[in-house]
Amino acid sequence: MAFSGIGIVAGAALTDTVHRAGADHVEPGIANNLVVRDGDGWRRDSVYDGQRFRSFALFVPPDLPLLTGDADTVDGYFGTVLPLVAQVAEPGAVIVFGSGTARTAPPDMPDAEARRRFARVVRVARDVAAEQDLRIVLEPLNRDETNLVHTIAEAVAFLDEHDLRDVGVVADLFHVQAEHESFDTVRSLADRVGHVHVSDRDREPPGQWDWPWTAFLDAVHAGGYRGLVSIECHWPEDDPEPQMRAAIGAVRAAAPR
């Protein structure tokens, strides 16, 4: 297999379904799923007892403002939550740092200041994660989801600017398409990619519509990426397993070798 695993982003209610559908891994969300509020703090949901995961998504809750909130509160979130994640993580597991609402800068904040503050937050998250043998990867998000770091190229430049080159970048086709980033750019920067998300148009499962998701996978592979690929999309509420199985099969069949 060209990639180290084909999996699905899913919450606790769908974990068993994803396994039955034949995925190599499940990528659980963290905030308000793997970890849940417990008074003023957080605790790990016991439904995940005894399980181990290679990647995680949905890192920071939307009501924790990373750029304007109290630094001790922000850092305390990482200090509390990342050890909880580590309890159910494989060594070296990846944590996708998207969290568009949480990282959005207020409109009156200068861009340079927003980038400086966000760099501090990413650095703290990276360092706390490393103490738990976890890896933070920064996800560029399209302009409808945040006003800070939108493309793979911008993410690489941001990380280089702030001496964060050891933080990988997420290549997510949904955001690549929304920002009209070329697959040539994806290919040329694939050595900086630390995780991949794939979907079809409108976050539908791969193979449902007409997005060039196979060309996208070809691009990251041609650039040297061999890590995990996680399908991040919507599933039918009544019986998601057939679509999951079909999507996993389609991505496996299309994966370059």
Question: Taking the domains of the chain in order of start, what are their residue ranges?
Answer: 6-254
> Which pLDDT belongs to residue 160?
99
> Which pLDDT belongs to residue 226?
98
> Which pLDDT belongs to residue 1?
55
Q: Has this prediction a pTM greater than 0.95?
A: yes
3-state secondary structure string across the chain = CCCCEEEEECCHHHHHHHHHCCCCEEECECECCCEEEECCEEEECHHHCCCCEEEEECCCCCCCCCCCCCHHHHHHHHHHHHHHHHCCEEEEEEEEECCHHHHCCCCCCCHHHHHHHHHHHHHHHHHHHHHCCEEEEECCCCCCCCCCCCCHHHHHHHHHHCCCCCCEEEEEHHHHHHCCCCHHHHHHCHHHEEEEEECCHHHCCCCCCCCCHHHHHHHHHHCCCCCEEEECCCCCCCCCHHHHHHHHHHHHHHCCC
Topology, domain 6-254: TIM Barrel (3.20.20)
> Which pLDDT belongs to residue 257?
82
Mean pLDDT by 10 residues, the chain (257 residues): 93 98 99 97 98 99 97 98 99 98 98 98 99 99 98 99 99 99 99 99 95 98 98 97 98 92
